[in-house]
Chains A and B, each alone.
With several copies, the nearest count.
Chain A
Amino acid sequence: MEYTVKIDAFEGPLDLLLHLIKKLEIDIYDIPVAEITDQYLDFIHQMQRLELDIASEYLVMAATLIAMKSRMLLPKPELPDEDADESYEDPEETREALMQQLIDYRRYKEAAEELRTNETERMQLFSKLPSDLSRYASNDTTPIPVSGRATIHDMLKAFQRMMIRKRLEAPLDTKIARQVLPIGRQMNEMIGTLRRAGRPVSFDSFFQYRDRTSVVVTFLALLELMKKNVIYCIQKTNFADIMIGLGEGADEFEAGTDAFNY
């Protein structure tokens, strides 16, 4: 028989035995000890020849199988020998125990396979990070619940997510940073956004690309538009979002796209 599988493809001697039983089309409820022992030892030898590390569990199982096979070849004692140093181990009982162990293990292995399906399905599903709801919180002075405290793990996970988030925020095409961003075009872009929104838009939302050039150009465009009364800015309270809306001068404004290049 050719073995194309490596030993680390198995989760231990029971897994290997189940593989052999399946391959040899043996009835798990009636395992031929001699045959399964030979096949098992063959496999182990093959692995040894390939100089693979074989975990001690595999060798223990090999020893058990050999002991069982050899006892089966011996005649059964007529009467229990009470003077014997070792009590007689009935190979039939050993076989029965091994069979039970294999059946038991196979059940969990099959359950694990079903869980694998669940896992795979679950990994296809993605969610967003929870929104920051702190702006809705009326007060932050609620004491920390002792039972539900965060752990270092939570903190570091949060940190890691932040790093991923920042990577996602970076512009997809980094060449953009090197391009000249015409302020005129940026001004038109902003007016377009405000018109489409039909209501004031937050200051922050204009600064989606965080590279230096686009931040500077966007900010200059904002200042220019404010000077020309095309837009207005309001901030209701300290630290509240600054809201930007279209001003009186918006209708007649038209920036030349080549104006104010930087």
Chain B
Amino acid sequence: MRSIIEGLLYLTGEEGLMVDQIKGVIPDCSEHEIRNMVEKMKKDNLDNESSGLMIVDLPGGYRLTTKPFMAAYAEKFTAIPKTAPLSQAALETVAIIAYKQPISRIAIEEVRGVKSERAIQTLMTKGLIKEVGRAEGTGRAILYGITSVFLDYFGLHTLDELPPLLDAAIHPNEQLDAFDLFYDKYKETVKDL
């Protein structure tokens, strides 16, 4: 049971793991048993100096996270030139902007379900997106769109070359196949350049 909880805490990462979800996976355990077990794991993790991880409370659940001392190392880590130049967050955000432009920050956050200020900031400084106007109505939110740097960066000639977005939420696998097909063509194009 302890190992299962540990595994699930890892997989759910920043999203956190609800006690209900643990109960769903280990139906024989009462909420009380689960909470006791996690409290014990929490304590063990804190006491264990050779572990860089700890468990924190969420409303209705828990989350595995790095210990506070790790912040300095995480900072150092991000300073290392990366092989993957754009983070998952930035890639998600730029995908939404490419398909839905012009789009406001609030609308992006609705799609992603998380704050996207930093990602937008990153994309702006890298020149992949720009402000393309203001929304009508109160607030007059900034609207974002992609730039020619975006096209260049992703190896596209025009925006029309973006693969059509299928109903990704319902058919994730088919979606990937469509991407694969597109990817072939994309590589061929690049080769000819």
Chains A and B touch (C-beta atoms under 8 A apart): yes
Q: Which residues of A contact B (CB under 8 A)?
A: 11-15, 55, 57, 61, 101, 103-112, 114-116, 118-138, 140-145, 147-169, 172-173, 189-190, 193, 196-197, 201, 204-206, 208, 210, 218, 239
Residue pair A112, B95 in contact (C-beta under 8 Å) = yes
User: CB-CB < 8 A to B176: which residues of A?
Assistant: 157, 160
A28 to B77, CA, bound (A): 49
Number of interface residues of B (CB under 8 A): 85
A225 to chain B, nearest CB (A): 13
Residue pair B74, A115 in contact (C-beta under 8 Å) = no
Residue pair B80, A127 in contact (C-beta under 8 Å) = yes
B66 is an interface residue with CB less than 8 A from chain A? yes
Looking at the complex, which one of A106, A114, A122 makes contact with B153 (CB distance below 8 Å)? A122
A154 to B85, CA, bound (A): 11
B61 is an interface residue with CB less than 8 A from chain A? yes
Contacts A111-B99, A131-B13, A159-B95 given; indicate if A150 touches B84 (C-beta within 8 A): yes
Q: Is the interface of A mostly helix, strand, loop or mixed?
A: helix
User: CB-CB < 8 A to B191: which residues of A?
Assistant: 147-149
A143 to B118, CA, bound (A): 16
B185 to chain A, nearest CB (A): 10
Residue pair A155, B94 in contact (C-beta under 8 Å) = yes
19 A-B residue pairs with CB within 8 Å: A107-B165, A112-B94, A118-B156, A119-B91, A126-B70, A129-B79, A130-B11, A133-B77, A148-B191, A149-B192, A150-B91, A151-B154, A153-B193, A160-B179, A166-B169, A172-B21, A189-B59, A193-B59, A208-B58
User: CB-CB < 8 A to A156: which residues of B?
Assistant: 95, 163, 175, 179, 182
A35 to B2, CA, bound (A): 61
